[in-house]
Structures are given as structure tokens and as C-alpha cells.
Homo-oligomer: A and B are copies of this chain.
């Protein structure tokens, strides 16, 4: 259970201090921090708060949006995000790479842009001891959020870099449907920088950005994917990250308690050891 991390987005209405309290009360020892509430408090104060609470920071969310028009601003903002990741001593900086530029249908060009910006940022991350974590996004978000659509594509993109500098995120919501998942998770091996869980629910809510469910409410076989990730050698934190309007309306302590319960029931309940 000490591998469970609460991604701050799951208690979206909370300030960083409130999210830290919710973790502490629920006995959760790791947190995934988001930049906006971190900025609200100030980076140094936020880093001190989390450290004083004894919480491990499993990720900072998020950098990326490499496909945006203003390249200089993209680079500047991502360098700030790298600095913040170092300040928090977080395991990684999660990168959501961005969708198609406004008005463009040129998907190969957008993907080339992502590779290009990554090449410029990776040395800066390495210099600051920060691990970048490329997050393949469900193809539902390809147009408007992330042109990185599969784990295979993320691994191809990460390939030129040291795994301690450029890793990947395995998020069950984004990858569960992938017919090539077993092979690609095995291939990912020590590039797995973050493992995030939430469920795929149907019918999808009207706002598909908020279509993520509490584990057990949808269609994903978490234990199967967790076992693939374990077999690949990943032993780090498992973040629960849920974008869902109903979850966000609940009291944070209730949400955190439900996360603990569902995590034990659906994600890391030990499987029986097989003979032989």
C-alpha cells in the first residue's frame, strides 16, 4: 500500500496544503503534484510543505504542449517546469505533448515538432537531474491534446535518450485498449517513469476530458496491466489520477478513502502465487 500515490487532480478542488492533508489523513505517503496549485502557494513553500509532511512526490504534472505556436514560450515554460520538478525532488515531469496546431491537419508535422522540442529540452533536464516522462494519450485526444497516441510511439521517441532522462508514463486510461500493450510494456522496461491508474467508463460523459472513473467503475482489468508493469521491472509509485466531475464534487477525505479502498481491491491486491 505504500506504493499508492494520490495525484492531486483526483481532489481537484483542493489547494496543495489541502491535498497534503487529505493524503496524510488517508495514510497515503506519495503525491502527484500539479503546477497550477503549486504556483498558487509558491514553489519553495510547496516543496517545503510536501517535504515536511513526509510525502514522496511521484510526479509533477505537467509540462509539454510542444506543438503550441510560440516555440520560445514552450521552451521557457518547460524549463520552468523542469526547475520545479527538481525543487520538489519529484520522480518525473509528466509531459502531455499537445495536439494539432490550430487549423492544421498535418499530423506527421506535429509529431516531428514534438521530437524536435524534446531534443532541445532533454539536455536541460539531464543537467538538472530531472526525468522527463512522455505520456501517450488515448487517441480520443489526438487532435486537441496529445499527438503521442501509443506506448510504441512514445518508446520510439524516447529511444535516443538515456532512460533516466526520458521515460514514459503508463496510464491505464490511455493504453488499456492497445492490442500491442503486453509487448510494449515489456519493451518499456526501465523507461517506465510513472504508472497511473483510472478506469474507462461508459457511457462517456459529455465532456470527454472528464471521462475517467474510479477503479472498478469501468472496463479496465487493472491487475492484468499492473502485473505487466511489475514484470517489466517497475517498482515505483502507482498514481491514482481521476478527472471526473462527480469525484470532484465529493469531500476530499471521502475521495482519498475511496482511492485507498479501490486501489487495494482492484489494483495491487496480491494475486495468488502459482505453483511450479
The A178-201 residues at the B interface (CB cut-off 8 A) are 178-180, 200
* Complex Cα–Cα for A2 and B143 (A): 31
Please encode chain A, from 146 to 163, with 1 for each CB lying within 8 Å of some chain B CB and 0 for all others.
Answer: 000110110000000000
Identify which of A19-27, A35-43, A55-63, A202-210 touches chain B. A202-210
The A16-70 residues at the B interface (CB cut-off 8 A) are none
* Complex Cα–Cα for A143 and B219 (A): 7
- The answer to whether A204 and B153 have CB atoms under 8 Å apart is no
Identify which of A6-14, A81-89, A100-108, A240-248 touches chain B. A100-108
Least CB distance, A97 to chain B, in whole angstroms: 12
**Known interface pairs A105-B219, A219-B105; A142-B208 also in contact (CB < 8 Å):** no
- Chain B residues lying within 8 Å of A180, measured Cβ to Cβ, are 150, 152
- Chain B residues lying within 8 Å of A202, measured Cβ to Cβ, are 143-144
**Known interface pairs A107-B221, A221-B105; A178-B206 also in contact (CB < 8 Å):** no
Indicate whether A140 reaches chain B with its CB closer than 8 angstroms: yes
Least CB distance, A134 to chain B, in whole angstroms: 13
Indicate whether A131 reaches chain B with its CB closer than 8 angstroms: no
- Chain B residues lying within 8 Å of A219, measured Cβ to Cβ, are 100, 105, 143
Indicate whether A123 reaches chain B with its CB closer than 8 angstroms: no
- Chain B residues lying within 8 Å of A221, measured Cβ to Cβ, are 105-107
The A79-124 residues at the B interface (CB cut-off 8 A) are 100, 105-107, 111
* Complex Cα–Cα for A267 and B100 (A): 20
Residue of B nearest to A209 (CB): B203
- Chain B residues lying within 8 Å of A176, measured Cβ to Cβ, are 107, 142
Indicate whether A220 reaches chain B with its CB closer than 8 angstroms: yes
Residue of B nearest to A216 (CB): B105
Least CB distance, A154 to chain B, in whole angstroms: 10
- Chain B residues lying within 8 Å of A107, measured Cβ to Cβ, are 176-177, 221
Select A150's contact among B138, B153, B179, B204, beta carbons within 8 Å: B179
The 3 closest A-B pairs by CB, nearest first: A206-B206, A142-B177, A139-B177
